[in-house]
Amino acid sequence: MQWTDDGIVLGLRKQGETSVVLELMTAAHGRHLGLVHGGRSRRMQPVLQPGNRVQATWRARLDENLGAFTVEPIESAASRLMGSGLALYGVAHLAALLRLLPERDPHVELYEAARILVAHLHDPDIAPPLMVRFELALLSELGFGLDLSACAATGGNDALIYVSPRSGRAVSASAGEPFRDKLFALPAFLRERLSGAPVPMTPDVRDVTAGFTLTGYFLDLHIWGPRDIPAPEERTRFVALGTQTP
């Protein structure tokens, strides 16, 4: 068995004296593990840093085996990420989110979203709203996507400013007004993307905070809660840094 694919380094663990077990999110083969012989060498350590993009060739005698990676660098993100606490917490949270996916299950669009997110994790204006969108995309890939395209009560798509915590569907201003204290806010940067209007590159802190409140609730409802795991500490710290008032 053999294949070659692009991948984002999520993490690694030591194996023996000189090797590591590498965890990648690959473009066509999903989240995948493999042994890297000599992965602890001076030459390989800078390549195998979380967030880096690599080309990996995986080989194994049988498909169910752990197999071994041969890795070549494509793009180094580590130097850009190391200078930012937001970026370091962001790449750790991204890895934790991707570990919710079944191993070796391909998610091509999610890989592309992760690649774009990593490229902007150092930017405090762009990274937080991108992370909100990534969390929404992950929920969808796991089968718990929110329906923000039309009002749950009227079926219309005008003035969608709320989200129902029960159904995960959008609610219009008029239909939701009597229940506004029980509904989540639908941030403007998500509404505008749905409507086809230009998406602001730097949504305000209030909208970003509302976005994380929304995704955090549904991640806990459908993912963390049923698995009896707490929300990752990396997410808490990323959200805190990403929603600071300038």
Q: Domain check: are 22 and 133 in the same one?
A: no
Q: Domain check: are 129 and 218 in the same one?
A: yes
Confirm whether 110 is domain-assigned.
yes
* Residue-level pLDDT at 156: 83
How many CA atoms lie less than 13 Å away from 64 in the CB half-sphere? 0
Asked whether 7 and 75 are in contact (CB, 8 A), the reply is no
Single residue among 22, 44, 76 that ends a domain in this structure: 76
Listed in sequence order, the DSSP H helices in the chain are 78-82, 85-98, 108-120, 127-141, 173-176, 188-195, 205-219, 233-242
Confirm whether 230 is domain-assigned.
yes
Confirm whether 154 is domain-assigned.
no
Q: Distance between CA atoms of 88 and 34, rounded to whole angstroms?
A: 24
Range of the domain at 198: 80-148+186-242
Q: Domain check: are 61 and 141 in the same one?
A: no
Single residue among 37, 61, 76 that ends a domain in this structure: 76
* Residue-level pLDDT at 246: 65
Length reported for the chain? 246
* Residue-level pLDDT at 153: 87
Q: Domain check: are 18 and 139 in the same one?
A: no
Q: Domain check: are 33 and 94 in the same one?
A: no
Q: Domain check: are 115 and 207 in the same one?
A: yes
Q: Distance between CA atoms of 203 and 20, rounded to whole angstroms?
A: 40
Q: Domain check: are 144 and 43 in the same one?
A: no
Burial per residue of 81-115, b for 16 or more beta-carbon CB atoms within 10 angstroms, e otherwise: beebebbbbbbbbbbbbbebbeeeebbeebbebbb
Confirm whether 114 is domain-assigned.
yes
> Strand, coil or helix: what is 181?
helix
Other CB atoms within a 10 A radius of the CB of residue 186 amount to 23
Q: Domain check: are 68 and 84 in the same one?
A: no
* Residue-level pLDDT at 202: 78
Q: Domain check: are 55 and 88 in the same one?
A: no
Q: Domain check: are 91 and 190 in the same one?
A: yes
Q: Domain check: are 36 and 94 in the same one?
A: no
| CATH classification at residue 219 | 1.20.1440
Nearest Cα neighbor of 213 from 182, 187, 181, 178 is 187
Single residue among 49, 76, 103 that ends a domain in this structure: 76
Q: What is the pLDDT along the chain (246 residues), one digit of tens a residue?
A: 999 999 999 999 999 999 999 999 999 999 999 999 999 999 999 999 999 999 999 999 998 899 999 999 999 998 889 889 999 999 999 999 999 999 999 999 999 999 999 999 999 999 999 999 999 999 999 999 999 999 998 888 788 999 999 999 999 999 999 999 999 999 999 986 544 444 445 789 999 999 999 999 999 999 999 999 999 999 999 999 999 976
Q: pTM to 2 decimals? A: 0.93
* Residue-level pLDDT at 194: 46
Q: Distance between CA atoms of 220 and 239, rounded to whole angstroms?
A: 15
Confirm whether 171 is domain-assigned.
no
> Strand, coil or helix: what is 22?
strand
* Residue-level pLDDT at 101: 96
Q: Distance between CA atoms of 66 and 55, rounded to whole angstroms?
A: 18
Confirm whether 169 is domain-assigned.
no
Confirm whether 180 is domain-assigned.
no
| CATH classification at residue 46 | 2.40.50.140
Q: Domain check: are 195 and 228 in the same one?
A: yes
List, in sequence order, every residue forming a beta bridge with 114; answer none if it has no partner: none
Q: How many structural domains comprise the chain?
A: 2
Confirm whether 90 is domain-assigned.
yes
Q: Find how far residue 223's CA is from the centre of its chain.
A: 14
> Strand, coil or helix: what is 172?
strand
Asked whether 216 and 231 are in contact (CB, 8 A), the reply is yes
DSSP class per residue in 40-66: TSTTTTTTTSTT-EEEEEEE-SSTTS-
List, in sequence order, every residue forming a beta bridge with 8; answer none if it has no partner: 25, 53
